[in-house]
């Protein structure tokens, strides 16, 4: 029997080689093959089933998560998976778990901040998971302001130990993932105090639970902080609360790569540059940008496929109705998100390169690009996570009523994704950092220090302040140089305008605070420029496969012109383009949508997601939506009985007018 495929017609319309696009999306043939193999492995394993996840109680969900983590680890060992394969496996299991923090934060923190000796002691046991670690920074009272943390680590020279203590309620550690129930250890951030002197916040490795019976060690109070957004979603994670009552740890458990405390209690710095920590941040944030492209592409895949199945209105002479994907409003909402998924993927790839570049420079003691790289990753983390969170919800709305069902997969995807806007730096706080860097860059224009990397365009600020866009017909907007110049001019003019306003304040800090809302907008303009330019740069390379490059060009233009349309006020009011040119851009955008349309399904097929990973009835590869929606419904526990539990106590007395006498 032929496999059913409601999308077959759509698939046959594609004007490019989907298999080649899969490789572009994955980054390389090697990456594609690993992803493809591991995704299937996970999808075919019944332990990794997740279609019933949103119905589980908190306790059952957590137990299910422990089971999946253990099973994944077992498979990783049995199959002798490489680090890369293991990490893909955790990715496709697709259920937040303590292991994310163990591998993603605990180990990198020790690697980045521990001495050689500490690494040799702790990393092997961590790699084997003989200990499970988490990253305990945030407290009830402090998240963004890390320097304001209140937990103390006081050196006791008598015993050569640190005393870790939670002096106030607000100093309770709060939020660390994996802390609540699973971790045996944590990297704890606390104020280092020696001899009555406060040296600010430092990291310490602290054992939390006994390795014998998992009970908290003396002086430690630890638990889960309770339910979070959504059903299923991030509730599989045991984000935790932790209090210390004078807990003692040996001196050598302070992470001492950059600063040390000697046996005598003397506080010192090594010659390792402090900026090293920025390297880790660049690493973590480039990962977040790649994750954004995954979450976004997943939502877009669901909404695109469903939009091709869903028909509403427009039947002619009793024929089928119009697929909603053919409506221009649907396209103008959906296709920019499809383009963003690709754009974020490519900028994430570039960030990955940037991380390598920065690391190499650091090793050569070259700090010249560090602050630019730091600002750029902070900005891109903010830009891509905000856009992705909004986009997932837009995709849900694009699916009409059915998008609101858990079985559409979109509610859970949204709920599990949104904290990315907050963790690893609140998105607004990050944009303010970018803005600060931009103001510094503008202030230094004309000086010795030339702007580098993603701010290099600022070096041409004089030109960009007065250049004129020469678009005269809609198709002029297809020229990469035209697009880049418009985005550069807009970003430069907004930054320079802010700098001018700032200069009117006698106190620059006051000015910065007063103008911060405008500064954030300038930072966004700068980050959007980066995404656009990196997409265009990607297209300058050789890209094999019939029609693949052509599709990418279309998507790149959709991304750029849709951003331009959305922020038209910026472009026009800074005089970068005229209102007429704005209208031409919009006209061109409409034409581009028409070019995306026949390729839409193939463009989401290129993400190569299994139905298991998507876990969406609406996003099924075969498009068999209605039969499966109907089937799913009956699985709800409420359908266990025809007459609902509670009928006799609460419905019947109403109907029979016997409420007065009922005991409720």
Ligand X SMILES: Cc1cc2nc3c(=O)[nH]c(=O)nc-3n(C[C@H](O)[C@H](O)[C@H](O)COP(=O)(O)OP(=O)(O)OC[C@H]3O[C@@H](n4cnc5c(N)ncnc54)[C@H](O)[C@@H]3O)c2cc1C
The residues annotated with a catalytic role in the active site are: 424
Whole-number Å distance between alpha carbons of 20 and 30: 13
Q: How far is the CB of 634 from a copy of itself (least distance, A)?
A: 6
- Report the alpha-carbon distance of residue 295 to residue 350 in Å, rounded: 18
DSSP state of 216: B
Instruction: State the binding string over 610-629 for a copy of itself (x if CB under 8 A, else -).
Output: ----------------xx-x
Interface with a copy of itself includes 106 (CB under 8 A)?
Answer: no
Identify whether the C-beta of residue 220 lies closer than 8 Å to the C-beta of residue 166: no
Task: Answer yes or no: are the C-beta atoms of 370 and 274 closer than 8 Å.
Answer: no
Q: Kindly state the tokens that stand for 229.
A: 């957004």
316 touches ligand X (CB under 6 A): no
Q: Indicate whether 186 belongs to the interface with ligand X (CB under 6 A).
A: no
Binding to ligand X by residue 221, rule CB under 6 A?
no
633 makes contact with a copy of itself (CB under 8 A): yes
User: Which lies closer to ligand X via its Cβ, residue 395 or residue 471?
Assistant: 395
Spatial separation of the C-alpha atoms in residues 275 and 539, rounded to whole Å: 33
- Asked if 370 contacts 361 with a C-beta cutoff of 8 angstroms, the reply is yes
Q: Which of residues 505-534 bind a copy of itself (CB under 8 A)?
A: 513-518, 520
**Binding residues for ligand X restricted to 415-434, rule: CB under 6 A:** 419, 422-423, 426, 428-429, 432
First to last CA, the chain: 57
Residues in the chain: 664
Query: 205 or 241: whose CB is closer to a copy of itself?
Result: 241
* Cα–Cα distance measured from residue 651 to residue 660, given in angstroms and rounded to the nearest whole number: 13
113 with 135: CB under 8 angstroms?
no
On whether 318 is known to bind a ligand per the annotation, the reply is no
Residues 150-169 that bind ligand X (CB under 6 A): none
The region of 247-255, 286-294, 343-351, 563-571 touching a copy of itself under the rule CB under 8 A is 563-571
Could you tell me if 578 and 572 are in contact, meaning their C-beta atoms sit under 8 angstroms apart?
yes
User: How many Å apart are CA 198 and CA 182, to the nearest integer?
Assistant: 32
Give the nearer residue to a copy of itself in terms of CB position, either 5 or 645: 645
User: Is residue 356 close enough to count as binding ligand X by CB under 6 A?
Assistant: no
**Looking at 59, 80, 473, 504, which residue binds a copy of itself (CB under 8 A)?**
59
- Residue 268: strand, helix, or coil: strand
Residues 139-153 as b/e (b if ≥16 CB within 10 A, e otherwise) read bbebbeeeeebbbbb
Give residues 299-318 in contact with a copy of itself (rule: CB under 8 A).
311-313, 315
Examine residue 127 and tell whether it contacts a copy of itself (CB under 8 A): no
Using an 8 Å Cβ cutoff, are 386 and 421 in contact? Answer: yes
Under rule CB under 8 A, which residues in 129-168 are in contact with a copy of itself? Answer: 129-132, 138, 140-145, 148
- 138 appears as a binding residue in the annotation: yes
400 makes contact with a copy of itself (CB under 8 A) = yes
Rounded least distance, CB 652 to a copy of itself, Å? 7
Task: Say whether residue 466 binds a copy of itself (CB under 8 A).
Answer: no
Cα angle: 530, vertex 534, 538; to 5 degrees:
175
Q: Is residue 481 within the footprint of ligand X (CB under 6 A)?
A: no
Per CB under 6 A, which of residues 119..138 are in contact with ligand X?
Answer: 135-138
Interface residues with ligand X (CB under 6 A)? Answer: 101, 135-138, 143-144, 175-177, 234, 239, 310, 312-313, 324, 327, 329-330, 398, 400-402, 404, 419, 422-423, 426, 428-429, 432
Binding residues: 138, 177
């Amino acid at each position: 029997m032929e496999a059913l495929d409601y999308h077959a017609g759509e698939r046959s319309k594609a004007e490019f080689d989907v298999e080649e696009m899969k490789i572009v999306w994955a980054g390389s043939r090697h990456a594609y093959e690993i992803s493809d193999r591991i995704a299937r492995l996970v999808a075919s394993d019944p332990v990794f089933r997740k279609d019933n996840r949103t119905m589980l109680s908190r306790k059952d969900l957590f137990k299910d998560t422990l089971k999946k983590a253990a099973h994944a680890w077992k498979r990783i060992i049995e199959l002798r998976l490489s680090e890369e394969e293991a990490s893909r496996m955790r990715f496709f299991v697709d259920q937040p778990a303590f292991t994310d923090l163990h591998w993603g934060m605990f180990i990198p923190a020790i690697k980045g901040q521990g001495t050689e000796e500490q690494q040799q002691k702790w990393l092997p046991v961590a790699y084997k998971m003989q200990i499970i670690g988490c990253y305990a920074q945030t407290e009830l009272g402090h998240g963004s302001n890390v320097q304001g943390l209140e937990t103390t680590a006081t050196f006791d020279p008598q015993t050569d130990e640190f005393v870790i203590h939670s002096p106030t309620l607000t100093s309770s550690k709060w939020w660390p993932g994996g802390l609540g129930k699973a971790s045996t250890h944590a990297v704890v951030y606390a104020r280092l105090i020696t001899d009555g002197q406060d040296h600010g916040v430092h990291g310490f490795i602290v054992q939390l639970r006994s390795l014998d019976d998992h009970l908290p060690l003396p002086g430690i109070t630890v638990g889960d902080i309770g339910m979070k957004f959504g059903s299923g979603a991030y509730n599989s994670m045991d984000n935790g609360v932790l209090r210390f009552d004078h807990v003692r740890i040996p001196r050598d458990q302070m992470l001492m790569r950059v600063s040390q405390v000697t046996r005598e209690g003397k506080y010192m710095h090594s010659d390792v540059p402090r900026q090293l920590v920025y390297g880790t941040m660049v690493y973590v944030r480039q990962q977040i940008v790649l994750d954004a492209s995954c979450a976004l592409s997943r939502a877009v895949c669901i909404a695109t496929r469903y939009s091709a199945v869903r028909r509403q209105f427009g039947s002619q002479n009793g024929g089928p109705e119009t697929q909603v994907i053919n409506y221009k409003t649907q396209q103008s909402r959906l296709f920019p998100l499809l383009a963003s998924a690709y754009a974020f993927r490519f900028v994430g790839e570039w960030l990955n390169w940037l991380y390598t570049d920065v690391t190499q420079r650091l090793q050569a003691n070259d700090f010249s690009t560090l602050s630019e790289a730091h600002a750029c990753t902070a900005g891109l983390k903010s830009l891509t996570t905000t856009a992705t969170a909004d986009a997932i919800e837009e995709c849900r709305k694009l699916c009409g009523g059915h998008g609101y069902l858990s079985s559409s997969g979109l509610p859970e995807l949204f709920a599990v994704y949104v904290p990315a806007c907050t963790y690893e730096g609140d998105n607004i706080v990050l944009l303010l950092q970018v803005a600060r860097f931009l103001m510094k860059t503008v202030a230094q224009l004309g000086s010795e220090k030339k702007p580098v990397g993603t701010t290099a365009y600022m070096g041409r600020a004089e030109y960009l302040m007065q250049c004129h866009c020469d678009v005269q017909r809609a198709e002029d907007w297809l020229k990469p140089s035209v697009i880049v110049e418009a985005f550069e001019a807009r970003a430069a003019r907004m930054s320079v305008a802010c700098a001018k306003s700032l200069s009117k304040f006698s106190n620059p800090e006051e000015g910065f605070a007063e103008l911060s809302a405008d500064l954030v907008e300038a930072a966004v303009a700068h980050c959007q420029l980066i995404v656009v330019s990196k997409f265009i740069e990607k297209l300058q390379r050789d890209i094999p496969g019939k029609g693949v490059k052509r599709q990418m060009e279309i998507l790149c233009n959709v991304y750029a012109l849709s951003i331009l349309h959305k922020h038209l006020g910026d472009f026009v009011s800074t005089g970068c383009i005229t209102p007429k040119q704005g209208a031409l851009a919009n006209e061109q955008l409409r034409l581009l949508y028409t070019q995306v349309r026949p390729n839409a399904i193939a463009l989401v097929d290129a993400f190569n997601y299994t139905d298991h990973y998507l876990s969406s009835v609406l996003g099924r590869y075969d498009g068999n939506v209605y039969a499966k929606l109907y089937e799913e419904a009956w699985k709800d526990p409420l359908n266990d009985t025809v007459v609902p539990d509670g009928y006799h106590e609460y419905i019947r007395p109403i109907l029979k007018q016997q409420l007065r006498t009922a005991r409720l």
